[in-house]
Amino acid sequence: MKLNGSQILMECLLEQSVDTVFGYPGGSVLNIYDALYKYSERIHHILTAHEQGAAHAADGYARATGKVGVCIATSGPGATNLVTGIATAYMDSVPLVAITGNVGKPLLGKDSFQEVDITGVTMPITKHNYIVKDVRKLADTIRDAFYIASSGRPGPVLIDIPKDITAAECEYTYEEPKKIHRKVCTIKQKDIDEAVKLMKESKKPLIYSGGGIISSGAHKELIEFAEKFQVPVATSLMGIGGFPEIHRLSTGLIGMHGSKASNMAATECDLLIAVGARFSDRVTSSVGTFAPHAKIIHIDVDPAEISKNVASYTAIIGDAKEILISLIQLVGQRDHTEWLEEVAHWKEEFGFDYQRDSSLRPQFIMEEIYKQTEGEAIITTEVGQHQMWAAQFYKYTTPRTYISSGGLGTMGYGTGASIGAQIARADKRVVHIAGDGSFRMNCNELSTVAYYNVPVIIIVVNNSVLGMVRQWQTIFYGGRYSQTNLDRGPDFVKLADAYNIKGYDIFTQEDFKEALKDALKHNRPALLNCHVGEDEKVLPMVAPGAPINDLILE
């Protein structure tokens, strides 16, 4: 049948089982939005307050489900407003398709009104991007974009569509989506055999688990492998939820704000098995002193990551789930009792803790959220101290329940992400944990939360400063607090009230307990403005460039 470009886009989205898109209209996408109006019974559009919010919402939707998130923006500033969200998804390997409009083909390259070379701008932060100049190629381009976004190592893809292409007509024929196959062709038996040999020789092994475990759906295989091999498991920030933190073999977060047990285990181990992790500087700190006694087995779907940051002894390239299945079959039952006792001692003596008193402490807030949600919530965060407290003091047991910007560290990410996550997972309650500095950046998305009655509970850990920057200024800059005091409003409860969202001003532990209990009771959005001390610290902490076993504990 003959359809125009905008209709072809809708049909291709339906081919890919897309039910929700996030976006903001404008001149170059008017034809697309006219089609969305006609397809509104089959494709739900969420109008955000800003295009960046749309990108983050699509990202949160993708992280909460594993499906491809979709966002739409017009040309020029609309497209550039997506850039931070696209880069956020790229750094954390999130499957995303960003659709932008552009000026008509005759106007391209002429500095036309609201024209930007968005494919040029986003080339370094996408897996691939396209500008479609022939309507006959539009359907296949969309299909390829979804395949690329979700296959192998996931990531964002951008499709730029000039306005005249959205109006042009051509024949459209339905096609079944390409099946996403696990990447197994690069898994070599000799690499598996070498890894098994190293495992059988090891006396002090450690698994370093990253976001790839979650992307590949390998969390059950990781548990089975760890239990059979009797090996402790440390997780990166992106790996949180990939291994249950209440499991006896879990040592928790590794790196700059990781647990003493994880960091000591990495320093003392003789074999480090990295699965779906990229050895970020926030994990390794000083590369020269990271895992100094260990032979490193690096398991990853992306060959570009092998020995990029830390030299590996051997590597297995391919899908983490398939590789773990092979290792489970070959490695045999092992006994590392003495090593596990040493790790258990570190866990017991140096677990995440804080000065427990009657004041409202950020760590108490995280523990109370865990207690009242019974560990069943999806937690989204902004970036800063609150992000680390949420990682340390809420116990995650299942994948896709901790949603945060890791690689790019995007302040302003979380409110949009919480919207996407809550819309994707109506069966779960999303609790969004924000710092007052981060929340200011995209608090305009309260309008989206309110309009669609998205029942997100927003916890603002309000210390009236840029907390993480102030912490660094305290420890490394002699207490010179340059431009980190945020004594300028707004009153977040009044702001919430302006959007008809229930707000709570919270100063004590009892205030928080009662407010959270009340917020959880109702299926509507809420904002809890929690006033905490400006000099609260995220501890432990590793100084930049220091060995990760050299932790600042107090």
Distance of alpha carbon 17 from alpha carbon 178, whole angstroms: 12
Q: How many helices (H) and strands (E) does the chain have?
A: 23, 22
Distance of alpha carbon 158 from alpha carbon 72, whole angstroms: 10
Q: What element of type H or E holds 47?
A: strand 44-47
Residue 366 falls in the annotated catalytic set: no
Catalytic residue, candidates 67, 127, 163, 204: 163
Backbone angles phi, psi at 72, to 5 degrees: -135, 140
b/e per residue, 80-113, with b = 16+ CB within 10 A? Answer: bbbbbbbbbbbbbbbbbbbbbbbbbbebeeeeee
**DSSP string spanning 355-397?**
---SB--HHHHHHHHHHHHTT-SEEEE-SSHHHHHHHHHS---
Catalytic residue, candidates 366, 468, 536, 541: 468
Residue 201 falls in the annotated catalytic set: no
540 cis-preceded (ω within 30 degrees of 0): yes
Instruction: Report CA-CA distances (Å) from 536 to 245, 282, 437, 484, 531.
Output: 24, 21, 15, 14, 12
Distance of alpha carbon 489 from alpha carbon 492, whole angstroms: 8
Going by their DSSP bridges, the two strands 69-73 and 96-102 should be labelled as parallel
Catalytic residue, candidates 7, 11, 22, 51: 51
Residue 11 falls in the annotated catalytic set: no
Separation of first and last alpha carbons in the chain: 69
Residue 51 falls in the annotated catalytic set: yes
Coil, helix or strand at residue 425: coil
Going by their DSSP bridges, the two strands 44-47 and 20-23 should be labelled as parallel
Residue 22: both structure tokens together:
């996030």
Catalytic residue, candidates 114, 230, 372, 509: 114
Catalytic residue, candidates 113, 175, 329, 514: 113
Residue 225 falls in the annotated catalytic set: no
Distance of alpha carbon 460 from alpha carbon 457, whole angstroms: 10
> Per DSSP, what are the bridge partners of residue 432?
380, 458
Amino acid at site 147:
Y
Residues belonging to the active site: 51, 113-114, 163, 468
